[in-house]
């Protein structure tokens, strides 16, 4: 059950001149492939959108089944970008969320939702992929019956069933794969390791809570502090997950193989509980997806202690890389876990962490990635994402808990 959806290699990345692209190529794509974008764009109720650069401005609009391009800044909404930024977006090295996380988003008019919606239209035209429409995603089990999205899997379940569920739904809840004793040891290791991390050390994320505390919420390279965690990452369970798709996913290697996260109650500054997003939301979906993100519940999680929530099927269709739209018609699944459970999700699946309300929790995150298609070529994309990601907690803050835990947003930013 392959989940490899990659279509690009970094060696192919070249500068895209916006004057040539918006003046020549995009108008042709808007005619030839407009039918792929139009139905989903109409559901999103997109309005004319302008991209303003030092080299010129262009306004995109949906007219029937055609996406038109008109010179000048005439859109209801508009974004200002550098020429390099535009080229990076068109190359799928950046998304609108890259600018948000980096603190560089410059909306002249309108809001982030407008930019995200038109980003979807652009990706549809460039990549020849239809924009998602409500009802286009179905969930079936191996027998062709409706898939039970609430199902969890134990170590005794068959890997073919587990792999099919992963491909269909985009996530897994693996119940009881680690012993509570091992989780207790790792929880103690997290507490012991916390004093060795410091704000701005390049190996941790920090957040302030309502009671004024400065808390370390993400401990990178955590296997260096925990023998039990090293054994877990190198163990049979992670290897079994890596083998599910048959795509040759690689077990973690190199630096930062595993991160330990502490989820405190009442975060008011920084990022601990990331709102709805894809792991590819900062760019390079077509170069990397799908890798698999694996969470290990050290203390368990539910709606009161910060559980993971996912949008099943969002990895199989072209939707915005952040926030959730009612227009999609996709379900939301809560993943309440016990101590020793695992969660797995595809890198281009929408998910979020609910802010804890009653008690904090601890969780490990590691992942398995697809084997590289080339020798790496131009590594600028990976460098951009890493730099923006690691600095995000100092530049943006998560929404208050009562907002971030809402089920849906309708172009809200």
Tens-level pLDDT at each residue, the chain (413 residues): 899 999 999 888 999 999 999 999 999 999 999 999 999 999 999 999 999 999 999 999 999 999 999 999 999 999 999 999 999 999 999 999 999 988 999 999 999 999 999 999 999 999 999 999 999 999 999 999 999 999 999 999 999 999 999 999 999 999 999 999 999 999 999 999 999 999 999 999 999 999 999 999 999 999 999 999 999 999 999 999 999 999 999 988 888 999 999 999 999 998 888 889 999 999 999 999 999 999 999 999 999 999 999 999 999 999 999 999 989 999 999 999 999 999 999 999 999 999 999 999 999 999 999 998 875 544 555 565 655 555 555 545 555 443 333 333 333 32
Q: What is the pLDDT of residue 379?
A: 54
Rounded to 5 degrees, what are φ and ψ at 259?
A: -115, 140
Helix-, strand-, coil-residue percentages of the chain, each rounded to 5: 30, 20, 45
Q: Are 44 and 327 in contact (CB under 8 A)?
A: yes
Break the chain into its structural domains and give their ranges.
10-127, 159-404
Comparing CA positions, the residue from 243, 354, 338 lying closest to residue 297 is 338
pTM higher than 0.85: yes
Same fold, 10-127 and 159-404: no
Question: Distance between CA atoms of 279 and 249, rounded to whole angstroms?
Answer: 16
Q: What is the pLDDT of residue 147?
A: 98
Supply the CATH classification number for the domain 159-404: 2.60.120.620
Q: What is the pLDDT of residue 398?
A: 54
Q: What is the pLDDT of residue 376?
A: 52
Q: What is the pLDDT of residue 402?
A: 35
Q: What is the pLDDT of residue 271?
A: 83
Q: What is the pLDDT of residue 396?
A: 55
Q: What is the pLDDT of residue 1?
A: 83
Pick the CATH number of 10-127 from 3.30.1050.10, 3.40.50.920, 3.40.50.300, 3.30.1240.10: 3.30.1050.10
Question: Distance between CA atoms of 279 and 281, rounded to whole angstroms?
Answer: 5
Comparing CA positions, the residue from 301, 287, 290, 282 lying closest to residue 367 is 290
Q: What angle do CA 3, 93, 206 make, to 5 degrees?
A: 90
Beta strands 333-335 and 308-310, pairing class: antiparallel
Q: Are 362 and 261 in contact (CB under 8 A)?
A: yes
For residue 185, how many C-alpha atoms fall within 13 Å in the half-sphere facing its CB? 13
Read off the tokens for 322.
């952040």
Q: What is the pLDDT of residue 385?
A: 60
């Amino acid at each position: 059950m392959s989940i490899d959806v990659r279509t690009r290699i970094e060696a192919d990345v070249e500068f895209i001149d916006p004057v040539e692209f918006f003046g020549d190529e995009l108008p042709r794509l808007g005619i030839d492939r407009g039918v792929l974008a139009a139905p989903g764009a109409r559901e999103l109720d997109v309005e004319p959108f302008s991209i303003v650069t030092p080299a010129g401005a262009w306004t995109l609009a949906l007219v029937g089944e055609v996406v038109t391009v008109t010179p000048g800044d005439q859109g209801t909404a508009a974004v200002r970008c550098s020429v390099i930024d535009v080229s990076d977006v068109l190359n799928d090295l950046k998304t609108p969320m890259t600018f948000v996380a980096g603190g560089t988003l410059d909306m002249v008019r309108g809001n982030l939702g407008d930019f995200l919606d038109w980003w979807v239209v652009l990706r549809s035209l460039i990549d020849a992929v239809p924009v998602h429409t409500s009802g286009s995603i179905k969930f079936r089990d191996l027998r062709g019956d409706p898939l039970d999205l609430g199902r969890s899997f134990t170590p005794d379940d068959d890997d073919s069933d587990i792999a099919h569920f992963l491909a269909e739904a985009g996530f897994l809840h693996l119940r009881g794969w680690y012993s509570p004793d091992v989780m207790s040891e790792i929880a103690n290791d997290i507490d012991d390791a916390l004093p060795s991390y410091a704000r701005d050390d390049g190996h941790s994320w920090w957040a302030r809570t309502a009671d004024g505390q400065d808390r370390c919420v993400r401990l990178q390279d955590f296997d260096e502090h925990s023998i039990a965690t090293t054994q877990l990452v190198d163990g049979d369970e992670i290897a079994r997950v890596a083998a599910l798709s048959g795509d040759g996913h690689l077990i973690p290697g190199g630096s930062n193989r595993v991160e330990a996260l502490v989820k405190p109650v009442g975060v008011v500054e920084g990022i601990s509980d990331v709102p709805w997003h894809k792991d590819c939301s900062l760019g390079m979906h077509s170069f990397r997806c799908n890798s698999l993100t694996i969470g290990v519940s050290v203390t368990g999680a539910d709606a009161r202690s910060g559980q993971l929530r996912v949008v099943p099927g969002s990895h199989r269709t072209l939707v915005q890389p952040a926030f959730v739209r009612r227009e999609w018609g996709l379900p939301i699944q809560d993943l309440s876990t016990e101590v020793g459970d695992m969660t797995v999700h595809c890198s281009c699946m929408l998910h979020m962490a609910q802010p804890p309300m009653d008690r904090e929790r601890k969780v490990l995150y590691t992942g398995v990635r697809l084997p590289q298609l080339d020798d790496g070529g131009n590594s600028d994309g990976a460098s951009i994402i890493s730099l923006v990601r690691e600095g995000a907690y100092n530049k943006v803050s998560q929404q208050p808990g009562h907002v971030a835990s809402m089920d849906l947003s309708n172009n809200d930013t």
